[in-house]
Homo-oligomer: A and B are copies of this chain.
């Protein structure tokens, strides 16, 4: 891991950009912490870190204000990382289907999401390996938001992640509903009730499928990007209960 920039933002937030095996990432830590703090991994949609930066920073500020470190890495095929032909093709197929008003087929969803999960999850785990060696970061680790299938896979395979806040706002391959049954960590699932990108019933079915004994569904009005500010506060309450 190589830090490529460092700046102190107001609110006592130290922001450091890094690269790890040519994957760009950002780490936010409290400037004031006197002991190692728990870490929240900030997931995001595959739109590139630059595009997502304002929203990621807002979530990082919330996290740091509650005494957490927050970190994110670029997804494969996004941002400054090399294009990825297979996923580009699936995205084009998705756009075409949506534009034509056709239902988005299982094949398109699988082609869009499954390769991303396969490639991204080990990268997030590798990032975790390195981040947890930093003296200012302790544990435990939470995962928050982003592509829900990546969150599901991480929750199943990565024992250092002890709680996850998921956003039921993206296409979910059928096979992930099976995988969801193997999730046992506490979950806080956000659902936008009128999400134009999302099948509400599928999201409710997915919530039902999760094997976790403690899981909360928090549904709010509005579309995909209309998550109200107080939903972020509720999510912080969830992470505070499980990581502090």
Contacts and interface: CB of A to CB of B under 8 A. Distances in A.
B221 A215 contact: yes
A220 interface: yes
Given A193-B208, A208-B193, A221 B230 contact: no
B216 A218 contact: yes
A38 B237 CA distance: 24
Contacts of A212: 221
6 contacts: A191-B217, A212-B221, A216-B219, A216-B231, A217-B218, A234-B237
A213 interface: yes
B220 A230 contact: no
A43 to B, nearest CB: 22
A207 interface: yes
Nearest to A201: B204
A214 interface: yes
Contact of A217 (B219, B228, B237, B241): B219
A228 to B, nearest CB: 8
Interface string A192-233: 010000000000100110001111111111000000101101
A112 to B, nearest CB: 28
